[in-house]
Amino acid sequence: MTNSKDNSTVSNTMSKTSLSTTEKVSLSLKKRHQKEKRFKSIGLFAVLFGFMLVVVLIGDITSKALPAFHQHWVKLDVNYQSDWLKIDDVSEETLKKANYRTVLKKSVYQMFSTPSDKKLSRKDKRELFKLFSTNAEFTIKDNLIASPEHFNTQTSVWVRLDDDVDSYLKEGFAQGEAGLRIKEQQAQWLVKLSTEQRIESRFNFSFFTASDSREPELAGIRGALMGTVLTMFVTLLLSFPLGVAGALYLEEFAPKNRITDIIEININNLAAVPSIVFGLLGLAVIINVFGLPRSAPLVGGIVLTLMTLPTIIIASRAAIKAVPPSIREAALGLGASKMQVTFSHVLPQAMPGIITGAIIGVAQALGETAPLLMIGMVAFIVDVPTSVVDSATVLPVQIFLWADSPERAFLAKTSAAILVLLSLLLVINVTATVLRSKFEKK
């Protein structure tokens, strides 16, 4: 008892000489709050900076992509004369073989050789003809085949302008001024066409319906989009079940020993392997040994599966690990077999996490270019692929190809293709979020 009395006197004298706890705390309090404020502002800055970068990126791409979504067409007075067409009747066979190039050329020359104009020289004719897309010849062909009654008459047909003209018109040069790749004479002709209200800007449907082309005014995204969809289909079909099965086996069934440790280390390492290595593997094994076709979405999908698998397995294992063991015990205690525990309790609970992992994996695969270059998906392919063994290319490769092209119009096409790729990513992410919330509700 005396001892405790001593203690209290000691603490009393202590408080007189030095600061009390309250004073000490309030002294340090200001510093602590400052620290918190500083950290909060750094965090806010980081978020805003990131957000700003995204806005700049999307804004820049969108502004560059907009010109690709519309296109200039011109109305020509086409004269389907039989001696220009070099045919006498309008049967289906003869219409297909007729000479539309001559019709186009002569019709155009006629339009610009009215008495008020000076006589067209050979050079003028060449320059004039360059104003129109190479596709114009086929447009007038299709027009006559569709309505043969125009044979031997003059009719108005809308055809595409050449990409250089299209770019010139979009870039807003003054009337009649020479532009990049447009000579003054050509500019004058364009003035004449637009005063006659023969030039019209239309929404560019062919960007979404056409495949790749050497001519920018004809090039579209459909081939690459289909290629991407098919490749992603193969990737998801292979990597999701394999990844989930692998993760479930490793987490729920495999004994924990040295071998599973080695497997785990290897999976983690595999996630960090440069993707081009997987491309080489695809070339060396899948194409050369197994003899699958080159440039095919099937091979692309298999290669991307190899790349995506580690991501899915790692994410799935984390999600499976996070399922509370009490749920497993409850089911086991009722006499559920391991399989029943895994599939009716562990997997549904882990599903949201697994889906997140799969989406991260697929999003990576969606933007992957390097491994696909190795297996030949970089080729110039005009046909839209319809099956997984057709030759195809994918959106990122298409972007790479277009970005490499010298024609000015491909600049807008490249940006537009990037927008399509980003939208696809958005669609996948939204789907994943919806799926995830559906699983979480259960």
Partner 1 sequence: MNNTNLIQDDTTPVELNQVELTETVGNIYADDAKMTIRGANVFYGEKQAIHNVSLDIAKNQVTALIGPSGCGKSTFLRCLNRMNDTIDICRITGELMLDNENIYDKKLDPVLLRARVGMVFQKPNPFPKSIYDNVAYGARIHGLTNNKAELDEIVETSLQKAGLFNEVKDRLNDPGTGLSGGQQQRLCIARTIAVSPEVILMDEPASALDPIATAIIEELIDELKEKYTIAIVTHSMQQAARVSQHTAYFHMGKLVEMGKTEDIFTRPSHKLTENYITGRFG
CB 343 to partner 1: min, Å: 11
Please give the C-alpha separations between residue 290 and each of 77, 285, 294, in angstroms, as whole numbers: 57, 6, 11
* Stretch of residues binding partner 1 (CB under 8 A), selected from 73-81, 87-95, 279-287, 334-342: 334-342
**Cβ pair 68, 204 in contact under 8 A:** yes
Q: Does 336 bind partner 1 (CB under 8 A)?
A: yes
Residue from 115, 291, 335, 406 touching partner 1 (CB under 8 A): that is: 335
Interface residue with partner 1, options 43, 59, 274, 324 (CB under 8 A)? 324
How far apart CA 283 and CA 277 sit, in angstroms, is 10
Q: Does 340 bind partner 1 (CB under 8 A)?
A: yes
Q: What are phi and psi of 132, to 5 degrees?
A: -105, 150
Which stretch, 168-176, 205-213, 323-331, 389-397, contacts partner 1 (CB under 8 A)? Answer: 323-331
Question: Is residue 1 a contact point for partner 1 (CB under 8 A)?
Answer: no
Span of 55-63, 129-137, 176-184, 329-337 interacting with partner 1 by CB under 8 A: 329-337
336/424 with CB nearer partner 1: 336
Question: What is the C-alpha to C-alpha distance for residues 79 and 160, in angstroms, rounded to an integer?
Answer: 18
Identity of the residue, 291 or 333, whose beta carbon is nearer to partner 1 in the bound complex = 333
**Cβ atoms of residues 82 and 88 within 8 Å:** yes
In angstroms, the CA 345 to CA 152 distance is 77
Establish if 123 lies at the interface with partner 1 (CB under 8 A): no
User: In the complex, what is the shortest distance from the CB of residue 347 to partner 1, in angstroms, rounded to a whole number?
Assistant: 13
Q: Which is nearer to partner 1, 284 or 330 (CB)?
A: 330
Number of residues that bind partner 1 (CB under 8 A): 20
Minimum Å gap between C-beta 318 and partner 1 is 19
CA-based torsion, 245, 247, 250, 251: positive or negative: negative
Cβ contacts of residue 178 below 8 Å, gap of 6+?
A: 184, 186, 187
Angle, CA 236 vertex, CA 358 and CA 278 arms, to 5°: 90
Q: According to the binding rule CB under 8 A, does residue 437 interact with partner 1?
A: no
CB of 44 to partner 1, least distance (A): 36
Task: Point out which span in 63-71, 222-230, 271-279, 325-333 binds partner 1 (CB under 8 A).
Answer: 325-333
CA 91 to chain centre: 45
Query: E strands within 26-176?
Result: 70-79, 154-160
Among 180, 245, 259, 330, binds partner 1 (CB under 8 A): 330
**Which of 11-19, 153-161, 168-176, 342-350 is the region at the interface with partner 1 (rule: CB under 8 A)?**
342-350
38-46, 285-293, 321-329, 412-420 -> range binding partner 1 (CB under 8 A): 321-329
Cα separation, 365 vs 310, whole angstroms:
12
Q: Does the footprint of partner 1 cover residue 259 (CB under 8 A)?
A: no
Among 72, 141, 328, 413, the residue binding partner 1 under the rule CB under 8 A is 328
Using CB under 8 A as the binding rule, whether residue 327 contacts partner 1 is answered as yes
The binder of partner 1 chosen from 331, 394, 411, 418 (CB under 8 A): 331
Residue 432: which residues within 8 A CB-CB, separation 6 or more?
Answer: 355, 356, 358, 359
Compute the least distance from the CB of residue 326 to partner 1, in Å. 4
Min dist CB 261 to partner 1, Å, is 13
Choose, by CB under 8 A, the member of 349, 356, 393, 414 that binds partner 1: 349
Could you write out the DSSP letters of every residue in 216-277? TTT--SHHHHHHHHHHHHHHHHHHHHHHHHHHHIIIIIS--SHHHHHHHHHHHHHTTS-HHH
- DSSP type of residue 117: S
CA 324, CA 441: separation in Å to the nearest integer? 17
Q: How far is the CB of 355 from partner 1 (least distance, A)?
A: 17
- Which range of residues in 101-109, 173-181, 183-191, 328-336 is near partner 1 by CB under 8 A? 328-336
Q: Is 326 in the site for partner 1 (CB under 8 A)?
A: yes
Q: Which pair of structure tokens corresponds to residue 132?
A: 């129109």
Residue 68 and residue 239: Cα distance in Å, rounded? 35
- Specify the residue for token string 């409850």: 330
> Can you tell me whether residue 369 is helix, strand or coil?
coil
172 versus 333: smaller Cβ distance to partner 1: 333
Q: Which of 115, 172, 291, 333 binds partner 1 (CB under 8 A)?
A: 333
The SS3 call for residue 126 is helix
- Contact positions toward partner 1, by CB under 8 A? 255-256, 324, 326-337, 340, 344-345, 349, 442
